Amino acid sequence: MELRQLRYFVTVVEEANFTRAAARLHLAQPGLSAQIRQLERELGQPLLDRSGRTVTPTAVGAAVLPHARAALAAAQQVSHTVDEFTGLLRGQVRIGLISGAADSEVDIARVLADFHHDHPQIGIALTENTSEAMYAALRRDDLDIVLISIADAELDPAVATATVLETTIVAAVAADSADFPERIGLAELCTHPLICLPPGTGIRRVLDTACAARGLTPNVAYEAVAPPLLIRLAAHRLGVAIVPALAPADAAALGVRTLTIDPPLYGRLLLAWNTDRPLNPAAKILLDRLHIALDGLGDPAAKSPGRNGSR
């Protein structure tokens, strides 16, 4: 029995499919299948049920699975412990940002540049996508650290988070639009063409959930991945933009004014990482630096609201 065979077994269970597991492991499917069969022969029991549309663990496989995961985690920890003891950092840190997060108050690029300067031997892999996509990648262990906007109820207990900032979600209309009140109800809001972030983003999920709870269907006319574009579309009277809160001066400079949504909607930006598998030493150091760089962004007294990356 080899550790790589246990890794293959765990991956097939997580993907419930040999083809997807092989792609994730960068292996040919026949080779992956052969390794799993060899493991089953050594153990004398089938670990996977291949008879259905999806691959599922047998009763024996389900019993073996936590031990396989523990063995893989222990082997990884041995390597990490040696690295930490010798002071040698190597490898790669994989970080995911929601679209537009690099435009927030914290200079993510500067944090990464400083980290690279201090540890040039460490590779940094940066991915930008929606919150749902980043969270799924984190749970697959395709990313080490993510900056996302997602509700607590959607989080796996094995995911640790630190709140970066919280923001009120507002409706933005063209500055010279006189036919909108200062406060707008959710039902009335849904009668107007809306300019929103796409599905999979935190703010869109908040809006859709609030509407669904009241039996409402938002009239989404335009979608874009970054609030600045949503605001520009609203400034040109193409609809009502659903965006993080803006300071009045910032809104005026962008050609919009903001309306308070009733009931209030809130977005939250989170730094997240897995706790059911150990971070490598490099990822731990970068996580600490991100904590320091992002600390205080959630303090409303520290800055005016808005211009943040709660997606």
Tell me the per-residue pLDDT of 217-261, one tens digit each, with 9 for 90 and over: 999 999 998 888 999 999 999 999 999 998 999 999 999 999 999
Q: Is the pLDDT of residue 145 over 90?
A: yes
Residue 310 lies in a domain: no
Q: Is the pLDDT of residue 56 over 50?
A: yes
Residue 309 lies in a domain: no
Average pLDDT over residues 252-280: 91
Assign residue 257 a region: left if phi > 0, alpha if psi is -120 to 50, beta otherwise? beta
Average pLDDT over residues 46-60: 92
pLDDT value at position 100? 64
Q: Is the pLDDT of residue 133 over 50?
A: yes
Q: Is the pLDDT of residue 182 over 50?
A: yes
- pLDDT-derived band at 305 (thresholds 50, 70, 90) equals very low
Which is higher by pLDDT, 254 or 121? 254
Q: Quick one: 39 and 55 in the same domain?
A: yes
Angle at which helix 131-139 crosses helix 202-213, to 10 degrees, equals: 110
Residue 311 lies in a domain: no
d(CA 180, CA 118): 52
Q: Quick one: 178 and 243 in the same domain?
A: yes
Q: Quick one: 183 and 261 in the same domain?
A: yes
Q: Can you give the residue range of the structural domain that contains 219? A: 166-268
The CATH number of whichever domain residue 69 belongs to comes to 1.10.10.10
Q: Quick one: 137 and 150 in the same domain?
A: yes
Q: Is the pLDDT of residue 90 over 60?
A: yes
Residue 306 lies in a domain: no
The number of domains in the chain is 3
Q: Quick one: 55 and 97 in the same domain?
A: no
Average pLDDT over residues 258-277: 91
- pLDDT-derived band at 84 (thresholds 50, 70, 90) equals low
**Residue 206: half-sphere exposure toward Cβ, Cα within 13 Å:** 28
Residue 138 CB coordination number (10 Å): 21
pTM over the 0.85 mark: no
Which is higher by pLDDT, 152 or 237? 237
